[in-house]
C-alpha cells in the first residue's frame, strides 16, 4: 500500500468512538485506521443494519412453520451486515472527506486526519465488498438479485445530504433493505409482510437517524449540510414520534399478516416502550443524550426479533 498523506497529532482514535473499544485495545497498529474507518469500533451501525434482516427472517419462519427456523441464514446476515456496513462507511468517508474535516465529531476520522489515503480506503472497501459477495451468493437467486439491487441505494446515499433535507429517508431505504432480504431468503419471493416491514423500518430509520443528526446540527448549518434534524428544528420530537408510531404500526401489521399469534402480541410491547422512553427523555441540546437514545435502537430491534422468535416457538410447540 502507498504511504498515506500527513497524519494528525495524537494516537489516531476517533472522537465519537466509545472509549475502550476492541479496536483501540486489541487491533494491530497497522490495521487500526482501517478498522476505525469501517466503524468496527462502533457496533451500533451493523446492529441496526442487521435487525431488519433478523426480524424479516423470524417473520418468514412464522409464515412457513413447516420449514426449519433459518438460524444459518441469520448468521450469514449478521456477517453480511458487519462487512457491508463497513464497506458503506468507507465509501461514505471517501465521498465526505472534505465535509468530515469541517465537523468536530468527524474530523479525526482516518481519511480527513490523513491516516489513510483515498486509494488505500478504496482498496479496503473493495476487500470488504468481496467478503459481502461471498456471503450473498450463499442465498437463493432471488435474494442475490435483491442484494445486488441494494447497491444503488448505498451508492447514492452519501450524496443526498448535499441536495435534500431528507438524507435520512435515503438511509432508511438502504438500511431497511434487510426487511426484504430475510423473507426472500426463506421464501424465495416477496409478499405483503416484508413490504410492510420495509416501509415501517424506513420510518424507524428516519426517526433514529434524526436523533443522531441532532448532534451535528450546528456544524451542519455552518457548512451547508442538510438533514431532517435541521428541517424539523424545534418540532423534531413530535415529528420523530410520528415516524416511530407509523413504523411500529406497520411492523405490527406485518407480523399479523405473517401469522404471528398471541405470544408475539403479548411480548411485542417492549420495542415500542423503548421508543417512548427515547422521546420522553430526549433533549435535542444534550448531544451525548441524543447519542445514547440513538444507540438504544439496538434494543428495539433485538426486542422485536425476540418477540417473533417466541411466537415461532409457541406456534411450533403447541
Tell me how far apart the alpha carbons of residues 41 and 27 are, in angstroms, rounded to a whole number. Answer: 10
CB-based contacts of 27: which residues, under 8 Å, 6+ apart?
35, 40
CB 172 within 8 A of CB 209: yes
User: Largest Cα–Cα distance in the chain?
Assistant: 65
Per-residue pLDDT, 47: 95
**Has residue 38 got a pLDDT over 80?**
yes
**What is the DSSP secondary structure assignment for residue 164, as one 8-state letter?**
-
Quick one: what percent of the chain has pLDDT higher than 70?
Answer: 92
Residue 7 in this model has a pLDDT that exceeds 60: no
Instruction: Give the Cα separation of 161 and 223 in Å (integer).
Output: 11
Q: Where are the domains of the chain?
A: 25-317
Its sign, for the CA torsion 116, 120, 121, 124, is negative
Q: What is the pLDDT of residues 140-166, one digit of tens each?
A: 999 999 999 999 999 999 899 889 999
Q: What is the CATH number of domain 25-317?
A: 1.10.357.140
Q: How confident is the model at residue 12 (pLDDT cuts 50, 70, 90)?
A: low
3 state SS for 88-156: HHHHHHHHCHHHHCCCCCCCCCCCCCCCCCHHHHHHHHHHHHHHHHHHHCCCCHHHHHHHHHHHHHHHH
pLDDT digits (tens, 9 = 90+) for 194-247: 999 999 999 999 999 999 999 888 877 878 889 999 999 999 999 999 999 999
pTM score, two decimals?
0.91
CB 142 within 8 A of CB 189: yes
pLDDT tens sequence across 86-122: 999 999 889 888 777 666 677 778 888 788 899 999 9
Count CA within 13 A, CB hemisphere, residue 261. Answer: 14
Amino acid at each position: 500500500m502507498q504511504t498515506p498523506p500527513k497524519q494528525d497529532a495524537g494516537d489516531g482514535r476517533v472522537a465519537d468512538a466509545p472509549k475502550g473499544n476492541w479496536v483501540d485495545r486489541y487491533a494491530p497498529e497497522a490495521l487500526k485506521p482501517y478498522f476505525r474507518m469501517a466503524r468496527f469500533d462502533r457496533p451500533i451501525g451493523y446492529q441496526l443494519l442487521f435487525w431488519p434482516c433478523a426480524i424479516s427472517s423470524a417473520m418468514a419462519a412464522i409464515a412457513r412453520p413447516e420449514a426449519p427456523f433459518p438460524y444459518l441464514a441469520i448468521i450469514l446476515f449478521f456477517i453480511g451486515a458487519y462487512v457491508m456496513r463497513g464497506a458503506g462507511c468507507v465509501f461514505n468517508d471517501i465521498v465526505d472527506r472534505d465535509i468530515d474535516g469541517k465537523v468536530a465529531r468527524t474530523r479525526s476520522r482516518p481519511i480527513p486526519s490523513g491516516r489513510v489515503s483515498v486509494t488505500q480506503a478504496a482498496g479496503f472497501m473493495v476487500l470488504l465488498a468481496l467478503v459481502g459477495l461471498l456471503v450473498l451468493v450463499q442465498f437463493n437467486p432471488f435474494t442475490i438479485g435483491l442484494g445486488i439491487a441494494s447497491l444503488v441505494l448505498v451508492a447514492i446515499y452519501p450524496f443526498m445530504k448535499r441536495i435534500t433535507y431528507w438524507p435520512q429517508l435515503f438511509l432508511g431505504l438502504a438500511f431497511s433493505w434487510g426487511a426484504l432480504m430475510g423473507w426472500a431468503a426463506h421464501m424465495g419471493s416477496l409478499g405483503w409482510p416484508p413490504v410492510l416491514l420495509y416501509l415501517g423500518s424506513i420510518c424507524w430509520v428516519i426517526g433514529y437517524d434524526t436523533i443522531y443528526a441532532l448532534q451535528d446540527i450546528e456544524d451542519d448549518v455552518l457548512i451547508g449540510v442538510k438533514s431532517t434534524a435541521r428541517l424539523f428544528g424545534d418540532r423534531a420530537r413530535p415529528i420523530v414520534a410520528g415516524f416511530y408510531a407509523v413504523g411500529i404500526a406497520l411492523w405490527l401489521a406485518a407480523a399479523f399478516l405473517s401469522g404471528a399469534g398471541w405470544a408475539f402480541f403479548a411480548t411485542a410491547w417492549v420495542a415500542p416502550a423503548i421508543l417512548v422512553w427515547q422521546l420522553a427523555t430526549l433533549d435535542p441540546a444534550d448531544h451525548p443524550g441524543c447519542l445514547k437514545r440513538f444507540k438504544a435502537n439496538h434494543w428495539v430491534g433485538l426486542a422485536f426479533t425476540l418477540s417473533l422468535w417466541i411466537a415461532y416457538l409457541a406456534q411450533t410447540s403447541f
